[in-house]
Amino acid sequence: MSRLVVVSNRVAPIKEGKVAAGGLAVGVYDALRSSGGIWFGWNGEVTATPTLSSETHGNITYATLGLTRRDYDNYYRGFSNATLWPIFHYRIDLSRYRREEYEGYRQVNHMLAEQLQPLLRPDDVIWVHDYHLIPFADECRRLGIRNRIGFFLHIPFPAPEILTAIPPHNELFKTLCSYDLVGFQTEVDRQAFEDYITREVRGLVGADGSMTAYGHNFRAKVYPIGVMPDEIQQTAASYKGRRNLIGRKASGEPCQTIISVDRLDYSKGLVERFNAYEELLNRFPEHRRNVQFVQIAPTSRSDVKTYQNIRQQLETQAGHINGRYAELDWMPLHYLNRSHERRILMGLFRNACIGLVTPLRDGMNLVAKEYVAAQNPDNPGVLVLSRFAGAARELNGALIVNPYDTAGMAEALDRALRMPLNERKERYESMMLPIRSADLASWRDNFLQDLRGPNTRTVRAEKIIRVV
Ligand code: ADQ
């Protein structure tokens, strides 16, 4: 089998036997281990000159480099996280556009392609991840790199009306067409991309998912990312610590802990969630003293202004809720800004009677799947899930909510807190079907099989139909 080269914005080497880092990193690591290859990208450091360094563990080489302060500001903090991230999450109001940041983004993609080129062999297959690297294949093609290159978008792909708010959208999405295969989390995202290609660019779409635009033939398909349910079940069941914090299920009593785990990001809907919890305590006073809400949300991108604002807002809101409802022996809301080890999170999930996952937009949201996979099958908790998470397309057994509807969310929480065991079990079992069938391994294998499979450049012309 040809080597795999994974390109992602951040690369954190995983050493043999130390793969507890969680979901995605482990999935990519396994793919690299089975075919051997390179994991290439930014090492997370800001340096005076970007110098490539590599370390090899077994058959995987981690080739990483730092970014200069200017590149970090323009490429990462600027165009990736202050323009693309908000727009892809439908938040035009939070996005800003600066031409020099876009140029910096293009330059970093060019520089990364140049740095990777000498490491490549002719039959290597390249798998590029996420919105930081949209122009990467185009830069490779300009350098004469002819390898298969696939791209997977981890975040939502918005409707064209939103997307076209990015001033250089035409130029940017032209570069996306240089990939051989473009993968999305859900059919909604793929459809939005198809709408963009057909309406904005007058591209062609085939019944088999092949597309032609800007003179390139490529495929666009859906690969919902999953988790490793057996590993999660095992980790969650064997976790013994902190039972006294939220271990009521272990004692046979109905569990009354609601848990949420997110990166601290405005797309995750934390403000709306806090409001809904307050509404629950206000409208359903019988739950006071019987319920506690644990929100774990480590800060991310803390040097981007909108992230500082959301953090401040949540601190005020958490103080308000506890100030208003707490009693000497009862704290309604535990708001923790620290990151937690994976085995602790899985243990907390298993012992919480509600997993509250209510993003305003999310590509998939692995926490929703992890929460379900961690449950005790004999006494499972209830997943309360936003309709705007990609995971809602698969997890029909969740209580689906609209995060903008505070009263509706409070009612769903009340219903979940009262849900009888037989209904909880039915819902759990129905959710475990897609979690098992579309797990992390099938996400990875399906994508790589398609990328390694027959080349779209050979798709016959008659298979292409015109879409007006
Ligand atoms: P994220 O926005 O980071 O990822 P998510 O899918 O929820 O969101 O989480 C990814 C992983 O990080 C999960 O394994 C989760 O357990 C872990 N994690 C989240 N919060 C954590 C915390 N507070 N402490 C420790 N670990 C935490 C992006 C997209 C998502 C998409 C993923 C994968 O935004 O929509 O599901 O990529 O494709």
| C-alpha 232 to ligand 1 mean position (Å) | 15
Ligand 1 close to Cβ of residue 298 (< 6 A) = yes
| Single-letter amino acid code for the residue at 66 | G
Tokens standing for residue 246: 């939220």
Give this prediction's pTM. 0.94
User: Based on the domain organization, do 182 and 266 belong to the same domain?
Assistant: no
Residue 48 is given by DSSP the state S
* pLDDT tens figures, 25-47: 777 888 898 889 999 999 999 99
Lowest-pLDDT range of 194-198, 430-434, 452-456: 452-456
| C-alpha 280 to ligand 1 mean position (Å) | 26
Is the predicted pLDDT of residue 232 greater than 80, yes or no? yes
* pLDDT tens figures, 128-160: 999 999 999 999 999 999 999 999 999 999 999
Structural domain boundaries, residue 418? 233-436
Q: Would you say how long the chain is, in residues?
A: 468
**pLDDT recorded at residue 15:** 63
**pLDDT recorded at residue 252:** 47
Helix residue spans in 143-250 (DSSP H): 160-163, 169-176, 187-195, 229-238, 243-246
Ligand 1 close to Cβ of residue 357 (< 6 A) = no
Structural domain includes residue 403: yes
| C-alpha 95 to ligand 1 mean position (Å) | 22
**pLDDT recorded at residue 112:** 98
Structural domain includes residue 468: no
Atom 10 of ligand 1, residue of closest alpha carbon: 366
Q: DSSP strand E in 230-304: where?
A: 257-261, 292-296
Structural domain includes residue 78: yes
From 270, 367, 370, give the residue whose CB has the most ligand 1 atoms within 8 Å, as the site to mutate: 367
Structural domain includes residue 357: yes
DSSP-based three-state secondary structure for 171: helix
Average pLDDT on 250-257 reads 57
Q: Which atom of ligand 1 is nearest to the CA of 22?
A: 14
User: Based on the domain organization, do 398 and 379 belong to the same domain?
Assistant: yes
| C-alpha 368 to ligand 1 mean position (Å) | 10
CB 21, CB 46: distance < 8 Å = no
User: Based on the domain organization, do 364 and 432 belong to the same domain?
Assistant: yes
User: Based on the domain organization, do 452 and 413 belong to the same domain?
Assistant: no
User: Based on the domain organization, do 262 and 166 belong to the same domain?
Assistant: no
DSSP-based three-state secondary structure for 210: strand
User: Based on the domain organization, do 176 and 278 belong to the same domain?
Assistant: no
Binned at pLDDT 50, 70 and 90, residue 111 comes out as very high
| C-alpha 23 to ligand 1 mean position (Å) | 8
Structural domain includes residue 372: yes
Could you tell me the CATH number of the domain that includes residue 63? 3.40.50.2000
**pLDDT recorded at residue 454:** 81
User: Based on the domain organization, do 59 and 186 belong to the same domain?
Assistant: yes
Ligand 1 close to Cβ of residue 370 (< 6 A) = yes
User: Based on the domain organization, do 196 and 326 belong to the same domain?
Assistant: no
User: What is the tally of structural domains in the chain?
Assistant: 2
CB 169, CB 422: distance < 8 Å = no
DSSP-based three-state secondary structure for 307: helix
Is the predicted pLDDT of residue 359 greater than 80, yes or no? yes
User: Based on the domain organization, do 191 and 290 belong to the same domain?
Assistant: no
Average pLDDT on 283-311 reads 89
Structural domain includes residue 465: no
- Positions annotated as catalytic residues are 154, 362
What is the rounded CA–CA span in Å between residue 80 and residue 266? Answer: 15
DSSP-based three-state secondary structure for 185: coil
User: Based on the domain organization, do 252 and 387 belong to the same domain?
Assistant: yes
How many angstroms separate the first and last alpha carbons of the chain? 40
Structural domain includes residue 413: yes
Q: Determine phi and psi for 285, rounding to 5 degrees.
A: -65, -20
What is the rounded CA–CA span in Å between residue 48 and residue 107? Answer: 16
User: Based on the domain organization, do 52 and 113 belong to the same domain?
Assistant: yes
Ligand 1 close to Cβ of residue 364 (< 6 A) = yes
Ligand 1 close to Cβ of residue 440 (< 6 A) = no
User: Based on the domain organization, do 181 and 88 belong to the same domain?
Assistant: yes
